Amino acid sequence: MRYLLCLLFGLLAGVAQAAPANKAYMSIIIDDLGQSPERDSRTLALPGPVTMAIMPDTPHATDFARQAHKAGKTVILHMPMDPATGPYAWHPGIAIEELARRLDAALAKVPYAAGINNHMGSRMTAQREPMTWLMTELQRRHLFFVDSRTSAATVAAAEAQAQGLAHVSRDVFLDDERTNEAISRQLQQGIALARQQGSAVLIGHPYPQTLDILARELPRLAQQGITLVSLQQMIAERGNQAMPAHGRHGRYTNRSQR
């Protein structure tokens, strides 16, 4: 009997040791690509499934989108929205027909885009009607949406959720302050958040400091219990639910009253 009890406790201990720890996923998006071949190439060289967000009104947008796709990276359209300017930018008051034309033109400039996120857009993403139209259009095109959350008043993710569109929202900006110390702090914030809520979506830019930090730190994530995943896997992991900072009980605070 004593032998059997010892054997049972030994088996239970082995199961406990083999049990996986709580999973912590992270996705990283680098915005504003397509402007500089040097910075684009450094971004493409980052290890793991880092997402390339390419602006349509840049000189290398199309070529870099093809290059990134060939390298196996996820490409998304970094769609300019007010207060961004330029021929593709969305602004409040523009007719839906013109918004559609600009979206078509932007997607044509960034081939292989699997989804879009907003470049700037603090005014535009707070506009309910165009955001509702956009999510319907992305659903029709089988594209996903990433709310960069450049405004606390955004309704973009809420509209995506209301329509069942595959989407996620950004949790942490890496480089609002362009110093190595600040970027390192933001990355650690993302790691802590991933551990706390199971996942974190980080957005950065192809600044030399950001690329230096990521090139050094991404290979170390696994040792810290963090799994770097593609945006597609992150969307599946979150299941279109809002994170605690963005809403309550999985629903976005700024959701439509329907």
What is residue 1's predicted lDDT score, i.e. its pLDDT? 42
What is residue 232's predicted lDDT score, i.e. its pLDDT? 97
Band of the pLDDT at 254, cuts 50, 70, 90? confident
What is residue 119's predicted lDDT score, i.e. its pLDDT? 96
Query: Any idea which of 162-166, 217-221, 250-254 has the lowest mean pLDDT?
Result: 250-254
Band of the pLDDT at 22, cuts 50, 70, 90? confident
Q: For every residue of the chain, which 3-state class applies, written as one string?
A: CHHHHHHHHHHHHHHHHHCCCCCCEEEEEEEEECCCHHHHHHHHCCCCCCEEEECCCCCCHHHHHHHHHHCCCCEEEEEEECCCCCCCCECCCCCHHHHHHHHHHHHHHCCCEEEEEEEECCCHHHCHHHHHHHHHHHHHHCCEEEECCCCCCCCHHHHHHHCCCCEEECCEECCCCCCHHHHHHHHHHHHHHHHHHCEEEEEECCCHHHHHHHHHHHHHCHHHCCEECCHHHHHHHHCCCCCCCCEECCEECCCCCC
Give all domains of the chain, ordered by start, each with its CATH number: 22-239 (3.20.20.370)
Mean pLDDT of the chain: 91
pLDDT in tens, 131-165: 999 999 999 999 999 999 999 999 999 999 999 99
- Which residue in the block uniquely carries the two structure tokens 């949406």? 145
CA distances in angstroms from 51 to 100, 117, 127, 162, 223, listed in the order given: 24, 11, 26, 25, 22
Summarize the confidence of residues 163-169 as an average pLDDT. Answer: 97
pLDDT at 117 over 60: yes
pLDDT at 20 over 50: no
pLDDT at 8 over 80: no
pLDDT in tens, 59-109: 999 999 999 999 999 999 999 999 999 999 999 999 999 999 999 999 999
Please state the separation of Cα 139 from the chain's center in Å. 18
pLDDT at 6 over 80: no
> Any bridge partners for residue 169, and if so which?
147
